[in-house]
Structure formats: C-alpha cells, structure tokens
Structure 1
C-alpha cells in the first residue's frame, strides 16, 4: 500500500512538473508577444499562416518598390516638364528674334547684338537638351541615359529613339525618357545665326527648324503630362493594395493585447495552482515515508 502511494505521488509530481513547464512556456510566450507587439508564429506549428506571411511580405515589398519607382518617375517627369517649357520659351524668343532680324534695316551694332542673343539662345537650348535628372541621367537621350544628347550645338544627336520606361505598378509602365533628336536643326540654326556674319536674313528652312523644334517641345510636354497622370493613378492603386496587404499582415502578425493579457493571467494562475499542488504532493510523500 505504501509502495502504491509512493508510485501515485511520483506520478502526480512528474505530471505537475510537466504542467509547470507548460505554464511557464505559455507565460514566456505571452510576455514576449506583449513586449514585441507581434505574435509568435512558427512554421513547424502553423505552416499555413507562415506561408501566408511570406507571400504577403513579398507583395508588400513589390508594391513598395513600385511606389519608389513612381516617386523617381514623378521627379523625372516634373523636371522634364519644366525643361520642355524652358525649351518652348527659348524657341519662341528665337522665332521673334528671327523675324526681327529679317525686318528693317540694321546697322552692324544692332546685328551683332542680335547675333549675340542668338548665341545665348543656342547655349540655353544646348543646356536644356542636355538636362540631367537628380541621379545624373540625361532626360532626352532616349534609353542612352548615360550619354549626353549633344556634345555641342553642331554635333550629331548621340542618343537613341527608344525612350525610357519605368514600371510603376503591376503590368504598368510610364514613359520617363525621350529623344531630343528633333532639336538638331534648331541648334544648328541658332549656331549659324550666332557665328556666320555673312548671313543677313534667317531663311525659310532655318525658320522652319525653329518652328518644328518648338512643336516638338510642345508635343513632348503633352506626353509628359500624360505620364504624370498615369503615375498618379498607379500610385493611388498601389496605395490601395498596400493598405489591404498591411491590414491582413497586421491581423495575422500583430499581438492581440487583450487575448495575450488574458492568456498571461490564466497561465499565471495555472502555474500558481500547479506549484501549490506539487508542494502538497511533496508533503504527502514525506509523510508516507515516515
């Protein structure tokens, strides 16, 4: 009878120790979740949730990259819009000056003053055509963003005509780089009028080159506006998807503080009860030995 009692006491004691370990682990888990703000999720115990979290994290990361691309495209587009406006204004002044150059009788001093201004307009156009973005990439060299479109006002266009596209959403990209090849005639005209003192008029072909270049600047600016609208739409769509994904991630990963605190209190009571039971069992064991 004494032997049976000892066996029963040992069994209760071992079960109590196991219960204490379980309660202590549960308390540690609850405290960790409360302090970190995130649930403890392990692939071994919850493979489905773990797989969902991995996929959601990938989706969020992809959308965040699209948003960074959209920001970069937006900055580039804004700079392009300002540059093209500057081109249009410069070419408009060049046309006015060409008309002035052709009208009336001018002495050498006034003609030289106009040639000097043609030279200034040439330099402005060359600088605008070779505009770089904040990363140092050229805006108007097509896809050859590391190559200046024009080495000088009389050099050939060094870029290409492919343009540059930037991905801003799933399956969507926007044009964010253009070709300035069509400006070559205008640059040549401005250089001719600035440097060739034998010219006393701006002929029709040269004047047309200024008109065509201004038309190109206006057309490109409209394309830039379309791209800016597309970026805004893509950014709004990305934000909507990000909100949904982050809300789902929060529901799966973030600590439910009310539940965690309830579990902590519950397991604390279980631990205290188990410790009390073990103390009684241990006391009975000593009594039986006596």
Structure 2
C-alpha cells in the first residue's frame, strides 16, 4: 500500500500535538492542584464535585444564619438578665417598704430608687443592636418599642412580628421577641384571679392574693366581698358574683341572719378558690375578686412607687397602702416568672443553634474531605505522568524531524 508523504507528515504532527496537549493538561493540574480542571476532564466526577460544593455552600449559609441568630439572642438574653436584676431589686425594696416601722420619708426614699429602676427598665425594653435595630419591636425595628404618653401610660409602639433564621433545611429558629409578649402581656394577681380592696374602705382590712383550689370549679366573674353586721351585731360578710349572684351565704340564705362571722386571717372559700382578709374591716367595706388580666411591668413598678409614696397618716390609710404593696409584690412575682419564661425560651433557642452549628460544621468538614477525594490531584502520580509525557513529547518531536527528512529522492541518493 502506498503511503503519501502528507499522510506521514500529518501522522507525525498529530502525535506530537497529542503529547503536547497531555503535557499541558498535566501542567495545568499541577498548577491548580486539581485533577478536574474542566467538566470534560471527568464528567461524572465533575457532577459529584458540583453537588458537594452546593452542599458546602448551603451549610456555610446555615452557619452564617446561626451566627446572626446567636448574636441577636445573646443581646436579648443580656437585656432580660438585667431586667430580672431590676425586678428582684425592686421587689426587695417593696418588701422593705412593707415594714410598718419605716417612716414615710424612708418609704419615699425607696420609691425614689424604684423610680430610677423604672427608667432603666424602659431603657432595656428599648435596647438596640450595634446596627441600631430595636430588638423588642417585632418587625418595626426602627421604632422605639416603648414610650410614655402625657397621662403616664406606657405605650407599645412595635408589632407582633417574629424573625427567624434557617439553621438547616427543615428547621428555623425565632431570634426575637416582641415587647408586648415579654413586657406587656403579664398576668396580674395569681394568674387566674386578682384581689383588690376598695379605695373607699374605712377599716384596716387587707386582702391576700389567694389561690386556686380547683380549676374545674372556678367560674370567672367579678365577686364582691361585703362586710356587714348580722342580726346579732357580729361582723360578718357576704359574697356576690356580678353574674353568678349570691354565693355566701348560699341561697336561700339571707345575709342578715345567715352570713358567716368574720374571723381575721381565716380562709374564705367558694367556687374553687380561697383567700383571706387580715385586719378589722368596717361595715360597708368591700373587696373585689376578679379574673386576672394583663398589665405591663412598667405600670406594676409605677403602682408600687405610688404605694410607697401614699400617706400612712391613719390605720385606714396604712391598710390601703399595705393592700397596694401586697398587690404590687404579687404582680412583681408574676413579672419575674414571665421574664424567666422568656429567658428559658432564649436558652432553648441558643442551644438549638449551637447544636445545629456543630452539625453544619461537621457536614462542611466531611464534604470538603469528599470533595478533595473527587477533584484533588495526586501530586506523585501527576509528576510521574509529567515526566513520561515530556519524554513522549521529545520522542514525537524527534520522530517528526526524522520523518520530514524521508522521501524517495533521498532514498535514491
């Protein structure tokens, strides 16, 4: 078979170019430290590497989200810890103020400190992040959550928006609280009902906070305890519900003849609840038992401030002050419990983020290891290939030079 000179020439040239391409590819791999430079180098491996890179990118985003959420929640926790300190200190001061041996000036001094604590409390409720966002305003992060109107009422200006961060593909963690759920929606009294003495009472009676004996028997209503002298001239009491009607004495009993005698400090029980009254009420004095409602912690502090500043010029006024301070202590305890619940929720969320951060970090490490196996270069093998390819290229070049010199005319010569 006749082989043309051009065929011989092209064969030699193609061999030389093929070796040059292999050598260049190996040089690029060594320079990059990667086995796969372009998808065509290993289509299957490239697809696997792309999937692994996407997993790493997603996990890194989850880590970043977690760090953002952690920072926000740590600011919340720090603020709530300070709120707890303020409430505890205020509670201690109210207990001091409840001591009957203190003078009016002493109580006013205590009120002055609590007033300072109240200002701190409002400032904490208006805490901002380093970037200037208010952390207790919901979505309205550019609005101060709490202000005070001209009448002295505390106004919540934020919304109920909840902010979340994704810490894995199926889990999101809330990173904020609205001010209303932490500072405003605090139950009064014992959480079921609250007790109040009338400001027009003339005796020295002081009502306790009371407790629930049987939730299933309790009927929410506004109950009034009224003191009267029975037919024998003995101080007694009757209990009437605004909607449930007369409860004590039970119908068909008549208060004048059947109302129970008042015993100082003895429990008064009805409808699954109990409470007591100390001191000596006067005929016509009334006490109210009504369902708990919500009250912000700022108003609670203001009420104990007002109580400490109230007059104690008579036994009646002393009883009214004691009643106000007792209610203040009960509401402060509710506020402390409410803030503790918030701090527990923060702690739980931080624990979840910490756990997911660890999981995501491990995923990244494992994924990077897998990616290395797929696309990283075996340097020893690549250097060996480089040497072989260099020798092969030199051989191809020499062969091409020799082939160029071959022709029939040279053979004849």
The answer to whether the superposition gives a TM-score over 0.5 is yes
Change (3 A) 1:85 1:15: same
Shift of 1:232: 1.6
User: Which residue of the partner structure matches residue 187 of structure 1?
Assistant: 298
Q: Does 1:154 align with 2:150?
A: no
Query: Bigger relative contact order, structure 1 or 2, given CA contacts below 8 A and separation 6+?
Result: 1
User: Which residue of the partner structure matches residue 252 of structure 1?
Assistant: 374
User: Which residue of the partner structure matches residue 168 of structure 1?
Assistant: 167
Unaligned stretches of 5+ residues in structure 2: 185-295, 312-320
Q: What secondary structure is seen at the aligned counterpart in 2 of 1:38?
A: coil
User: Which residue of the partner structure matches residue 388 of structure 2?
Assistant: 266
Under a length normalisation based on structure 2, what TM-score does the superposition of the two structures give?
0.62
> Which entry has the higher C-alpha Rg, 1 or 2?
2
Under a length normalisation based on structure 1, what TM-score does the superposition of the two structures give?
0.86
Shift of 1:95: 0.8
Whole-Å separation in 1 of the counterparts to 2:309 and 2:110: 14
Q: Which runs of 4+ in 1 moved over 4 A?
A: 105-109, 192-198
After superposition, give the CA deviation of every residue in 1:204-234 in whole Å (9 maximum; x if it has no partner). 4433332222111111111111111111211
- The more displaced of 136-145 and 110-119 is 136-145
Shift of 1:241: 1.8
Unaligned stretches of 5+ residues in structure 1: none
Whole-Å separation in 1 of the counterparts to 2:81 and 2:344: 11
Whole-Å separation in 1 of the counterparts to 2:143 and 2:349: 23
Whole-Å separation in 1 of the counterparts to 2:12 and 2:310: 107
How many matched pairs?
Answer: 286
Whole-Å separation in 1 of the counterparts to 2:379 and 2:41: 21
Conserved 8 A contact 2:65-2:165: yes
Shift of 1:161: 3.9
Conserved 8 A contact 1:166-1:176: yes
Q: Does 1:98 align with 2:85?
A: no
Q: What RMSD in Å do the two structures reach over aligned CA positions?
A: 2.7
Shift of 1:90: 0.6
Q: Does 1:57 align with 2:53?
A: yes
Q: Does 1:242 align with 2:242?
A: no
Shift of 1:193: 5.0
Structure (1 or 2) with the greater strand fraction: 2
